[in-house]
């Protein structure tokens, strides 16, 4: 949902079809390019699977996170949940906090995204004992 | 001339940055801090790279190692200070600190104005003490005669010079 709002003009036409679709043609039949376009759900699923790898190693976590932040979107809370659990498996609390900071930074001027993400992640944060940057006081200089 | 002024200004403001200040080597060694080992992955503070290649503090002392061991257990057992310490072990600057601007621009603008003013002083002094008199063709008497001649010649009679002169009343319109 956030990504539809934040994606640039490449997928701009696609965001028009998110609500409601004008016709029932599957996205694969759209004429942007001859490749098949990945849906948001497929994108999310792919990244959740990536972070859910039980024996994910530290490099893969870093690579995945840095790549994800490089995209023109704010990751869905469920992807971030998988990433935070990966941090837990790697015993890396600092990275977990850093991920939350990165999400806030990624939202840019859209100030309502970060509170929503934290709200969605709150059960996970409590379960794993991950503090938010605000709780640690590092969101201020 | 301009580039040397910029150089002086930079030196005066002491803003030459060392390459090593953001490197993990700073925390690792107490020796020569001006050289970083570029053959190994380095730490960096970047908004687009939330998880850098290496933690900021790489050589842990005994107390930090103990904290790292505690990190392997449930994080709910860590105090807030310990969590903050773990964060600071891995990261030099938080996002807020990274994004904070500086007041350097004020120094730069101030320096620019200062040197512009200094140049103005030089220019004035040059005008007052170096240049000789202007040619006689710029003296008021000459200008008067010149203007009379231009009006007699009807210079720009339609939209310009002579059009502004009232020939009946012999004065400017």
Q: For B36-82, what is each residue's pLDDT tens digit?
A: 889 999 999 999 999 999 999 999 999 999 999 999 999 999 999 99
The answer to whether the CB atoms of B72 and A65 lie below 8 A apart is no
**E-only strand ranges, A16-69:** none
Is B19 within the bounds of a domain?
no
Q: For A24-69, what is each residue's pLDDT tens digit?
A: 445 445 566 888 899 999 999 999 999 999 999 999 999 999 999 9
Q: What is the residue extent of each domain of chain A?
A: 40-136
Q: Is the domain of B54 the same as that of B104?
A: yes
Instruction: Residue A130: list chain B partners with CB under 8 A.
Output: 75
Instruction: Residue A138: list chain B partners with CB under 8 A.
Output: 84, 87, 94-97
Q: Is the domain of B46 the same as that of B102?
A: yes
Is B60 within the bounds of a domain?
yes
Q: Residue B54 sits in a domain of what CATH number?
A: 1.10.442.10
Average pLDDT, chain A: 85
Q: Do residues B32 and B17 lie in contact, with contact meaning Cβ atoms separated by under 8 Å?
A: no
For chain B, residues with pLDDT lower than 50 are: 10, 12-27, 29-30, 32
Alpha helices in chain B (DSSP H): 2-13, 24-28, 62-71, 80-90, 95-99, 104-129, 140-152
Fold type of domain A40-136: 1.25.40
Q: Which domain holds residue B156?
A: 135-173
Q: For A1-14, what is each residue's pLDDT tens digit?
A: 555 545 444 444 44
Instruction: Residue A88: list chain B partners with CB under 8 A.
Output: 75
Q: Do residues A39 and A32 lie in contact, with contact meaning Cβ atoms separated by under 8 Å?
A: no
Is B12 within the bounds of a domain?
no
Confidence class for position A141, pLDDT limits 50, 70, 90: confident
Q: Is the domain of B100 the same as that of B155?
A: no
Please say if the pLDDT value at position A135 is more than 90: yes
- Give the residue from B109, B125, B160 where a domain finishes: B109
Q: What contacts A37, CB < 8 A, 6 or more positions away? A: A11, A14, A27, A28, A30
SS3 A57: coil
Give the per-residue pLDDT at B39: 94
- Which residues share a beta bridge with B172? B165
Give the per-residue pLDDT at A12: 42
Chain A residue closest to B84 (CA)?
Answer: A136
- Give the residue from B92, B109, B126 where a domain finishes: B109
Considering CB atoms only, which of A70, A94, A128 is closest to B86? Answer: A94
> What are A33's two structure tokens?
């390019």
Q: What contacts B130, CB < 8 A, 6 or more positions away? A: none
């Amino acid at each position: 949902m956030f990504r539809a709002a934040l994606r640039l003009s490449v997928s701009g036409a696609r965001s028009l079809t998110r609500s409601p679709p004008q016709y029932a043609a599957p996205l694969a039949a759209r004429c942007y390019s001859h490749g098949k376009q990945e849906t948001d759900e497929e994108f999310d699923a792919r990244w959740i699977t990536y972070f859910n790898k039980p024996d994910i190693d530290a490099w893969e976590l870093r690579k995945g996170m840095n790549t994800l932040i490089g995209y023109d979107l704010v990751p869905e809370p469920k992807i971030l949940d998988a990433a935070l659990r990966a941090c837990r498996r790697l015993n890396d609390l600092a990275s977990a906090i850093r991920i939350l900071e990165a999400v806030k930074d990624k939202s840019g001027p859209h100030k309502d995204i970060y509170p929503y993400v934290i709200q969605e992640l709150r059960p996970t944060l409590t379960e794993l004992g991950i503090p938010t940057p605000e709780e640690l006081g590092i969101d201020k200089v | 001339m301009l580039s040397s002024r910029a150089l002086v200004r930079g030196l005066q403001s002491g803003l030459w940055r060392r390459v090593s200040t953001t490197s993990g080597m700073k925390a690792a060694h107490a020796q020569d801090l001006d050289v970083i080992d570029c053959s190994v992955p380095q730490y960096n503070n970047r908004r687009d790279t939330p998880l850098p290649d290496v933690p900021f503090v790489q050589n842990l002392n005994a107390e930090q190692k103990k904290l790292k061991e505690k990190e392997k257990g449930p994080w709910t057992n860590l105090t807030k200070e310990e969590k903050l310490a773990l964060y600071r072990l891995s990261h030099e600057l938080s996002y807020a600190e990274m994004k904070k601007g500086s007041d350097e621009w004020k120094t730069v603008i101030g320096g620019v104005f200062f040197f512009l003013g200094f140049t103005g002083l030089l220019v004035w002094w040059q005008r007052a003490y170096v240049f000789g008199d202007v040619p006689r063709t710029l003296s008021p008497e000459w200008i008067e005669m010149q203007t009379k001649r231009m009006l007699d010649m009807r210079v720009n009679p339609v939209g310009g010079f002579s059009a502004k002169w009232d020939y009946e009343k012999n004065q400017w319109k």
